[in-house]
Structure 1
Amino acid sequence: MEVGPDDEIDSAAPLAPYRQLAAILAAQIRRGDWKPDRAIPSEAQLVQRYGIARATVRRAIALLVDEGVLYVVPQRGTYVKRAD
């Protein structure tokens, strides 16, 4: 399933919602919506924007952190990682 930067979460799709969100965020980063070392929207903003649970947002962010796309600064937010 191909996911683009402007897609919505499709709860009926075979791809889990957290994976859809991770793909959407990664596509937005590739498109240049957020520059390296700049914060992405907060968890609360993503929950509201996509109509999904906070746990789903956290899981998507954790996936992108594991993939080296994002990094988290405690009590500050989640940021786009610089390409190595």
Structure 2
Amino acid sequence: MTVDLEGPEPLYEQIAAILAARIADGTYAPRRRVPSEAGICEEFNVSRPTARAALQLLGERGLIMTVRGKGSFVVEPSAEGSQGDTPSSP
């Protein structure tokens, strides 16, 4: 997938959508690192603020978490209803 420089959607949203699709299809596995800001800048030929905004959007959507000094990682998908922390009736 490539970004559409002439399209109406902001570049950071397009990049976030591409990265989200990669998370969904398993390209970036849970608990594994996603590309850094520098890596996104290089791959998509965008500025660092654009890369940062894309990662921030993924974080707001709960798809990644950033660990200071280590990078951004894919969040494990929540197993709805099978968490094991729901008390059962006695």
Instruction: Please report the TM-score for the alignment, with normalisation by the length of structure 1.
Output: 0.90
Gaps of at least 5 residues in structure 2 are 79-90
Q: Which residue of 1 aligns with 2:57?
A: 63
Structure 1 or 2, whichever has the larger Rg, is: 2
Identity of aligned residues (%): 36
Q: Which amino acid aligns with 1:80?
A: V
Gaps of at least 5 residues in structure 1 are 1-6
Aligned residues between the structures: 78
Q: In the TM superposition, what are the counterparts of 1:1-84 in structure 2 within 5 Å?
A: 7-84=1-78
Q: Which residue of 2 aligns with 1:4?
A: none
Instruction: Please report the TM-score for the alignment, with normalisation by the length of structure 2.
Output: 0.84
User: For residues 68 and 15 of structure 1, what CA distance do their matches in structure 2 show?
Assistant: 21
Q: What is the RMSD computed on CA atoms of the aligned residues?
A: 0.6
**Aligned-pair CA distance for 1:41:** 1.4
**Aligned-pair CA distance for 1:10:** 1.2
Once superposed, which parts of structure 1, at least 4 consecutive aligned residues long, lie more than 6 Å away? none
